[in-house]
Structure 1
């Protein structure tokens, strides 16, 4: 499709596939790639298609809507909703053979009722809250899981938890969570409930908490080539999958004392060359990068000057010779010897790289390359 605006994100499916192979080398467990939030902004359908070609059969999402989108394209795949699924949509969940995470008896009852009416067996994974404090049964509520397992037309296929600090250097709390989870499993098994799938390991735990792998793991951010934190994954050999680019639309020279953008927060101290790119905070280039963020132009770093606008941003290019309309500007990615990745941009903003890639908006078209 013809690009209508010179702003785009390149998604390298070759890098994605290589990351998948590297992750597989860390564990003997089955991988369930997490493709929620449109595959962390990379595009769920192309990402799923690429990983399906490598043998992935089971994928995790956060929302029922995300599962249905993928099911329409790949009806044969196993889709699990790891977040909350509303009870009122139990008929749809059962009809589409989607696997929900559940954490209440009323959820289980609604699913069992729908399955009975449709002449099917609904598969569920029970969520245990071992310390994350979001959704899930508390460990002391384990006996309720036995009641769920007694419901007709229902199969407890899996049990899972989520770590709060697996991306920290200190795994003390993560180990406490793991022990709580294992204790719930032991109690259930002593009462005769054998659950086929057990999973706890997110990206960070896959890389440096092998005792938490069980027989299924949930790679998320590492699939997309980004480390889970500054403590984990820096040396895992991952390749960032997404780069983000725009083309210069205007270049001008302003005199000393002149100002740039809303609020006149940038004032030139000397005669300054200014390049404008047609990308702004509506695209996900955060306004907090005003007067401090950097981009790459002709292989050199250039500073954002003035406030980032909704649709346009200005750059200081005085010391970069020959900048002209049509030059490619790299907001994320490699240009010559220089690179800006989502982790560096996240550091400027005191946030995490997950937020950077997820925030690149839908109006930035994704272009897929190998």
Structure 2
């Protein structure tokens, strides 16, 4: 604490601002008026066990009392924090009422009309989705994003399952895997970033992400094949999906693991993209066996008609990608030569 005189003056000032006499102040603390008088005249300090009660009565923080000075900034921050807590609590209460009333009405109506619960569960699961996005983030104290995402995924999957059972369908597995695939595409990097992995995997999160998404893609194609009763998964689905994965996988491996400078990485990525652009149509013709065995595409940049327009566009894309590949290759060579010259000079 500050010296006794300063402390006493501060207590006197705050007591008067609160509109208390020495007697009223003493009665609230269950001490004698003489004790309060000694504090304010700077003769003695109050017992340490009274600090919290004094602060509550005078409307100040313990820091302000111990330093005998007003902490306006700290007091405002505390007020704002309490105001925020009240707003959040009111927000939670309002949402609970807004969700609870329709749910209760639907429960009663479903029982009254059908004499059993049927479509009510669809309403319940739908509200669970809304709760996961609006209430869960303000109710959980830690890992808000992860818990919100988990509750949303669970609620959405539950809704799909209930709708599937309600309609007597058999499409739940496809919809569930599609949801997991789509959400993981967006949020798996964030999950991996905040998840502890053993040392051998800690620097391979990008590889884990691509592997997971590739497996989910093939799983989704397999389930779609089974659902439609087709036989296209092995001879068409897997080859086309696998070939399509070459470009993103190649770019990832080059950018993440290739031991070359950034310009050579960009050059390699553009070269891979140009090669993919040139060969993808021929590969699709080969897999689909549609009678066109050409590996590239037909084009005539001087003649734009129904037969050449698509090929001309593909050729322009191919040449543009190849052009950027060459530009970055030249830039990488120049950068490497400059680096070698600087190293030799040093």
Larger radius of gyration: 2
Q: Which has the higher helix share?
A: 2
Q: Which has the higher strand share?
A: 1
TM-score (norm. length: structure 2): 0.20
Q: Which has the higher contact order (CA 8 A, sep 6+)?
A: 1
TM-score (norm. length: structure 1): 0.19
